[in-house]
Chain A
Amino acid sequence: MAVNRNVVDRALAVLRTLPRVSLYNLKDHEHRKKRSARGQHGGGTHGHGKKFRQNYLPLGFESGNTPFHLRFGMEKYYKRYRLEREYPPVSLLMLQKMIDTNRLDTTQPIDLSSICNSGVYSMNINFNHHGVNLTDEEGFDQFCAKINIEVQWASEGAIAAIERNGGVITTSYYDPLCLHAVTDPARFFLKGDPIPKRMIPPEDAIEYYSSADNRGYLADPEKVSLARLALAQKYGYELPKIEDDPDYTMLTMRKDPRQIFYGLEPGWVVSLKDKAILKPKDKELLEYYRT
């Protein structure tokens, strides 16, 4: 069939100037199927007239009065979500990077306060964040610092990577009230409140923090040293002797289970302005803050 070339060219020219189909000009076609009318709004026959036997329903017809999306029970995927503790992760590579860029001082024990003070890690207590989760997803091979670190959650590989280099790792729990002080000590000291005493972990966490495999802060130290040896054999490295280390005092520094800052006891008040520490002498206060 002969087609006038001018017509084709003209049509193509018009097409070129027409707007392209994109997300901005998409719309439904003219005869879109809508949800069939119900009840008095023309619902009687659904547009199929009367007096005809009909053994099928119009395409897309939703029978029944309960809409499909309400017909089935709810699966509570986010059940207990607001109650779960969260631990924003820090990988071994990130930790090594923080050490390399002098954000963390390896001559002192590292804890949640120093990680938060580095300015590279952020956590929000209002989102149920409870501290650092040290992961071994990245940087297991690169990690080469000898540190005494205290985190809130740690994977087995992360524990192995730190102990391989002669370091010490502890997992410890802070209750939300203490977390306000621990995550921003400078702001906390300005309040003029006494340093809170740390509460014991909740029921579902106490097992984790008293297990030697997780290097929990409530675990038996003898069991921890056995677990260190077992992990060294599992991963195939020679466990460096901490006793012979020149940094022995730094590596063996531990917090009391009721203590939240190194060297400062619960109940003390720190005045940044006067550079003074107030210690209670009252008998009942001492009894309350006793560990």
Chain B
Amino acid sequence: MSLQVLGRTLAYAARRSALSVQPARNASYLGSTVVDPLKKYPDVEVSRDPAEWRFVERLLPMKTVPAPRSTTETLPSGWRPTNPKSLNEPYFIGRSRNHQPSVYLKIKERGFQKFTIVKFITGDIWRLKEDLSKRIEERLGLKHGIHVNEMYGKLVITGDVYNVVMEFYDEKGF
């Protein structure tokens, strides 16, 4: 085991114990030795039991985003996989890295400005813009301005039209 870690941990243990085994420090912290002779520290038992180590491994976070439980059916929370029929459309809206729909409501200026943002669009983004604006006008009776960022594959719609966009999104099955 690494001396540095052992030394640090033992120094802490010694500090906690009432024994007068506090190792002498030099005037400078940096100049002082990292580890004193091990006899100065209280005794410890080093365990390398794999059964115990399993409890430690459970506490470490996962390094990548896991795949959802099922990629073929709708799950109880309402999460659903991408419908293969959506691939026939001239455009496609991808999922976020967390496998969630990439439609967001952005609220700015303490609720004064609201934008609905659709990201990760591939294919004919201008066609999607027309379809969305038609749908929004149908539902709300109002035209909403839509800014197309063709390079980035992103639409920014003025106003809170999240529900209308999500209805469109689910209908197409992205």
Query: Could you tell me which A residues sit within 8 Å of B by CB distance?
Result: 93, 96-97, 99-103, 108, 113-114, 117, 119-120, 139, 142-145, 185-186, 189, 192-194, 261-264, 269-282, 284-285, 288
Contacts and interface: CB of A to CB of B under 8 A. Distances in A.
Contacts of B56: 189, 264, 270, 272, 277
Given A276-B46, A278-B46, A192 B5 contact: yes
Nearest to B43: A281
Contact of A185 (B45, B59, B78, B99): B59
Contacts of B68: 100-102
B61 interface: yes
Contacts of A113: 59
Contact of B76 (A144, A193, A194, A261): A144
Given A97-B79, A269-B9, A271-B9, 18 more contacts: A96-B77, A99-B69, A102-B67, A114-B58, A142-B76, A145-B76, A193-B9, A194-B13, A263-B52, A271-B5, A273-B1, A273-B2, A274-B2, A276-B48, A277-B46, A277-B49, A277-B56, A281-B42
A161 to B, nearest CB: 12
A276 B61 contact: no
Interface of B: 1-2, 5-6, 8-9, 12-13, 16-19, 42-49, 52-56, 58-62, 65-69, 75-79, 98-99
B98 A101 contact: yes
Contact of B44 (A100, A108, A263, A279): A279
A142 B77 contact: yes
A262 B54 CA distance: 10
Nearest to B59: A185
B101 to A, nearest CB: 12
- Closest A-B pairs by Cβ, 6 of them: A263-B55, A282-B42, A185-B59, A274-B1, A102-B66, A100-B75
